[in-house]
Structure 1
Amino acid sequence: MQQFEKPNFKIIFFLIVCITFSNGYSQIDSLRNILEDEKKSDSIRFKAINTYYLTNTYAQPDSVLVLINYHYDLAKEKKFIKEMAKALNEKSYAYYIKGDTKKSMEFLMQSIKLYEQLDEPLTLATLYSNIGNIYGEEKKYQEAVRYFNSSLEIFRKQGQKTGEARMLHNLGVIYNALDIYDVALTYLNKSLELNQKLNKEKETGGTFLEIGKVYYNKAEYYLAIELSKKALELLISKNNKFSTADCYFLISKSYHKLNQPEKAYDYIEKSLVIDYEIKNTSRIIQRLTLKANLIYESNLVDEAIKQAEEILKLVQSETINQLKADIYNLLYKCYKAKRNYSLSLSMNEQYIVYSDSVQIEKNKIVVIREAIQNEYDSKLYKNNLKSEKEKAALKVLQLKKTYTITIAAALIIFSVVFYFRSKIKKNQAKRELLLNEIEKLKNNANKGLIVDSNKFELNREKIERAINRKLNETDWTVLNVLLEDPVITNIEIAEKVFMSVDGIGSSLRRMYEYFNIKESKYKKISLLLEAIKISNNSNKIA
């Protein structure tokens, strides 16, 4: 086994100071004093390291990475499995902040492997939710929702309200990414209310930011700005530079939409200052592209070209297609404005390539959104059903109590009535007996008696057989246009097939009836899904 070598503290802290620049050295000096003091216990040293993470991982991931290596080696030398796992988890956080999801997942799985040796279900639930965060960043939304729901269930069973609030927040983020805004707001507001009840106001900064993003997506830009500024105060107090930069970017985008370029430019610059510190390349490309667009819209085309060409140098193979499409579109507009048509055409071709890829991704997300929405609706229905059953059971219990009291009271009354009636009847019987006896004596005296609940193609033949009718050419054409773009508008379909919008509406209404489409929110998608099911599986509508 390799012998543990005592680290050179001077080198460690020199690297940390170099990376943190002018952020103040009081916390670093305090940490150094603790780690260099050999009289301090191991528990005090590890506590000092973990305290440093709380205020620096989201602000200075590079400086934290330097300390993490020391933390892990020290824990390994002392054979403290829990501290080794903490160090690996913190390393996963740091790479997540830097935008490297592959490394983040790698170290997270190593941390989970160590934690599985310990009996800490709540910690494991947190780590599993971190897997969900990574999947969310990679747009693997179904997997993310699955992990968040699993962790949420564990936190609720354990009565861990802080973890519950965090999972509600995470679920809200995913539903916002899927454009299911009402559900996103439901989760985010529940998270907000729960943290406020727990008196954890400082933990609500990220939630206010995410609610602001929902309202930005709903084109309510003033509200998005208001919520972002509210989030800023809380995030800055926590030294969460990662989310602070996100706040500045959201405010900048909102001012851009409101046609206030000077304010938009000011806030994008604030975001970039932090983004360069964190060194998250994707975020830097995203922010710089907005900045270059602002310059272009100010008629400074040469400067915009210069900026855009520099951004293009940052683009890598793993850069997401949306960012590539945005920068090529900007260059296309810039070169076109300068009448450099050959370069403009070249940029437009690149834009089309990546734009098409983005559209394919969106089409896939449409299906994922539908599945997740259905899953949510099903879960909501079950929860409502459970709630109704619980209410019914409570009502039955209350009715039983009422019935018991009523029956007891009735029995008492009945007993009293029965007693008195019996007594009366006895008296009456006795009276009748006497009367009869008198009558009998009279009769005797007179001597008498008295008696009294990869490119898919639709199969027209199967479809027509399933719906038991022939599709006309217009309907068939519209159906194939939907296959290309399930979220296309009626106006866009009309332009593609050279028909009126009314004609397209009429065609779609016919097919809704043919395919028995009842769902009202996503009728066109439901229509297409039915057509695909028929083409793939059988001659009947599923």
Structure 2
Amino acid sequence: MKRIFTCVILLLFTVSVYASIIENSIKQDTNEVENLYNHAFDVRLTDAMQTVKYADRALELAKQLDFKRGVAESYRVRGIGQFYLGHSEDAIDDYLNALTKFQDIKSYIGQVEVNINISSLYQDIDYDKCIEYLNNALELYQSKKLKQSDVLASIYMNFGNVYIREKSFTNALRSYDKIYELASHANNEEMKTMVLENKGSIYYELGDKERAISYYKRASVQAKDLDLNQLVAEIDLNLADVYLSEDNYGDAEKVLNEGYGYSTLVKSDKLTRYYLATRYKLETKRKNFERALYYLQNIYKQDSTKFNSNSSAALSIYQVKFNQGQLELEKERLTQRQKYNIILAVLLGLIIVLLVGNVKRKAETNKRLTGLNNEISVQKDNLDRINHHLEEIIDERTKDLQIKNKKLSEYSSYLSHQIRGPIATLKGLLNLEREGLVGQEECINMMVKCVNEIDDKIVDMSDMLHNPERAGM
């Protein structure tokens, strides 16, 4: 018994240790997924290609582990990388996949962030769509009472960017002041740098070029300190526009050369296209038409308005296709679910039939058992009566025997007394004859008489033993 108990304890301990090892292994793997997509997000403004690369690895590992939140966040971060690379269709595909996954696991903060990301896609091409997604993000953030200041700052950042493009500079400045406060609270230096850049854009639009250059330069210094290549390239592009508006071709070319170098580091098609367009503008202002033509040939054939329109349409079409694909997947899931439901219904029907049959068999068995129990009860009652009767008989016999034993004992004492008298006489005669006090003949006659008396008593005792009624027994 002790050995069995010891084996059971050892088995339970082994299972517990094994389960703990598996749990720790899974936790370590999910931690690796989180490390991968966090690193991917951190380098988005430095090297967007690396963002896509690390997010791909995170996504693959998360799918293997069935780590749903990891899958959703990996899609979102990879979409951010595609956005900075200028691959809008790839970005919207990843964002929509991320949004679906976050909805499945009811991650509200994830849904808010994806809506912000999608709004960024439409920021330069469709203000209405951009505002629609920002409102979705803000409404969800407020309705679920979320408390992440950096996420709220991102919402206001995109609102501010839209206000700039709509020439609503007062609202834009109000948004950026709120963002700067939230970013400071969250210690988000990247966002503070973006605020400086966007404020530079506001003052440029307002005609305060000196102030605009000041904000751009402050933003550029901070972006370089933080190794944010994407932001440095964007800021240099904005500075080039300011210098070109002042016909300051030297400084314009200087920042264009620097910014173009940073844009090649981040490998953004969108930024490269903007740099080509700005260089075309620079060479045109210089009246260097041959060089301007060279840059023009490297720009897309469509003008920016047509390109933006087509991009917005393309994204909308892609969203429709994605939604249709999701509907098809949902239909397929419903079809599979219906098949499973049919199989389940058949199995349940079989189980019900088996249960009904089992219930009937149990009812019949119970009925038979009830009958047997009744018969056993009757037999038990009969046995009880018989036992009771036997006990009464035994009691009567015992009492009778006790009475007879008592009478027999009394009679035995009586007979013993009756026999002892003649025997005592015989002993006395023998002593008298030995001493010569009685004659031999007289002694013999008296002894014969005693013997006959003893014989009569013995015969009488035997007769009484064989005839109890005579003895009163």
Q: TM-score category by the smaller chain?
A: 0.5 to 0.7
Residue 271 (structure 1) aligns with: 259
Quote the Cα distance in structure 2 between the aligned partners of 1:222 and 1:47: 44
Residue 513 (structure 1) aligns with: none
Contact 2:30 2:70 in 1 (8 A): no
1:174 and 2:158 correspond: no
1:201 is displaced (CA, Å) by: 4.2
Contact 2:153 2:182 in 1 (8 A): yes
- In structure 2, relative to structure 1, the CA distance for the partners of 1:62 and 1:159 (3 Å cut) is closer
1:180 is displaced (CA, Å) by: 1.6
- Select which of 290, 297, 305 maps to 1:312: 297
Residues 443-501 of structure 1, C-alpha deviation per residue, up to 9 Å, x if partnerless?
xxxxxxxxxxxxxxxxxxxxxxxxxxxxxxxxxxxxxxxxxxxxxxxxxxxxxxxxxxx
Residue 220 (structure 2) aligns with: 232
1:148 is displaced (CA, Å) by: 1.4
Residue 148 (structure 1) aligns with: 134
Task: With the length of structure 2 as denominator, give the TM-score of the two structures.
Answer: 0.55
Secondary structure, aligned partner of 1:116: helix
Quote the Cα distance in structure 2 between the aligned partners of 1:186 and 1:177: 15
Contact 2:46 2:227 in 1 (8 A): yes
- In structure 2, relative to structure 1, the CA distance for the partners of 1:196 and 1:126 (3 Å cut) is same
Structure 2 unaligned segments of length 5 or more: list them.
1-24, 311-473
Quote the Cα distance in structure 1 between the aligned partners of 2:186 and 2:180: 10
Quote the Cα distance in structure 2 between the aligned partners of 1:276 and 1:81: 34
Quote the Cα distance in structure 2 between the aligned partners of 1:275 and 1:208: 20
- Select which of 221, 236, 253 maps to 1:248: 236
User: How does 1:340-351 map onto structure 2 within 5 Å?
Assistant: none
Quote the Cα distance in structure 1 between the aligned partners of 2:75 and 2:237: 30
1:62 and 2:46 correspond: no
1:323 is displaced (CA, Å) by: 7.7
Residue 121 (structure 2) aligns with: 134
Residues 109-131 of structure 1, C-alpha deviation per residue, up to 9 Å, x if partnerless?
11111111213212211111212
- In structure 2, relative to structure 1, the CA distance for the partners of 1:316 and 1:280 (3 Å cut) is farther
1:213 is displaced (CA, Å) by: 1.0
Secondary structure, aligned partner of 1:182: helix
Secondary structure, aligned partner of 2:104: coil
- In structure 2, relative to structure 1, the CA distance for the partners of 1:115 and 1:102 (3 Å cut) is same
Quote the Cα distance in structure 1 between the aligned partners of 2:91 and 2:121: 8
- In structure 2, relative to structure 1, the CA distance for the partners of 1:242 and 1:294 (3 Å cut) is same
- Select which of 191, 194, 207 maps to 1:219: 207
Quote the Cα distance in structure 2 between the aligned partners of 1:57 and 1:126: 15
- In structure 2, relative to structure 1, the CA distance for the partners of 1:129 and 1:300 (3 Å cut) is closer
Residue 491 (structure 1) aligns with: none
Contact 1:161 1:194 in 2 (8 A): yes
Quote the Cα distance in structure 2 between the aligned partners of 1:228 and 1:322: 29
Contact 1:222 1:254 in 2 (8 A): no
Contact 1:225 1:250 in 2 (8 A): no
Residue 305 (structure 2) aligns with: 321
Aligned partner letter, 1:145: I
Contact 1:292 1:304 in 2 (8 A): yes
Residue 428 (structure 1) aligns with: none
**Aligned Cα root-mean-square deviation (Å):** 2.8
Query: Whose helix proportion is higher, 1 or 2?
Result: 2
Secondary structure, aligned partner of 2:174: helix
Secondary structure, aligned partner of 1:259: coil
Secondary structure, aligned partner of 1:158: coil
- Select which of 29, 44, 52 maps to 1:42: 29
1:172 is displaced (CA, Å) by: 0.5
Quote the Cα distance in structure 2 between the aligned partners of 1:135 and 1:165: 18
1:302 and 2:290 correspond: yes
- Select which of 139, 162, 183 maps to 2:150: 162
Aligned partner letter, 2:166: L
Aligned partner letter, 1:88: Y
Contact 2:34 2:58 in 1 (8 A): no
- In structure 2, relative to structure 1, the CA distance for the partners of 1:303 and 1:89 (3 Å cut) is same
Quote the Cα distance in structure 2 between the aligned partners of 1:140 and 1:61: 24
1:313 is displaced (CA, Å) by: 3.5
1:220 is displaced (CA, Å) by: 1.5
Quote the Cα distance in structure 2 between the aligned partners of 1:135 and 1:193: 26
Larger Rg: 2
Identical counterparts, % of pairs: 15
Residue 14 (structure 1) aligns with: none
Quote the Cα distance in structure 1 between the aligned partners of 2:148 and 2:64: 33
Contact 2:48 2:85 in 1 (8 A): yes
Secondary structure, aligned partner of 2:153: helix
1:199 is displaced (CA, Å) by: 4.2
1:195 is displaced (CA, Å) by: 2.2
- In structure 2, relative to structure 1, the CA distance for the partners of 1:277 and 1:183 (3 Å cut) is same
User: How does 1:81-480 map onto structure 2 within 5 Å?
Assistant: 81-137=68-124, 139-156=125-142, 157-305=145-293, 307-308=294-295, 311-315=296-300, 320-321=304-305
Residue 534 (structure 1) aligns with: none
Residue 77 (structure 1) aligns with: 64
- In structure 2, relative to structure 1, the CA distance for the partners of 1:193 and 1:41 (3 Å cut) is closer
Aligned partner letter, 1:44: N
Quote the Cα distance in structure 2 between the aligned partners of 1:202 and 1:285: 24
User: How does 1:480-519 map onto structure 2 within 5 Å?
Assistant: none
Contact 1:55 1:239 in 2 (8 A): no
Contact 1:268 1:287 in 2 (8 A): yes
Secondary structure, aligned partner of 2:123: helix
1:174 is displaced (CA, Å) by: 0.5
1:316 is displaced (CA, Å) by: 5.0
Quote the Cα distance in structure 1 between the aligned partners of 2:148 and 2:82: 27
- In structure 2, relative to structure 1, the CA distance for the partners of 1:240 and 1:119 (3 Å cut) is same
Aligned partner letter, 2:192: T
Contact 1:98 1:280 in 2 (8 A): yes
Once the two structures are overlaid, the 10-residue window that deviates more, 67-76 or 209-218, is 67-76
Residues 72-108 of structure 1, C-alpha deviation per residue, up to 9 Å, x if partnerless?
2211111111111121111211111111222211110
Quote the Cα distance in structure 2 between the aligned partners of 1:313 and 1:201: 36
Quote the Cα distance in structure 1 between the aligned partners of 2:292 and 2:92: 37
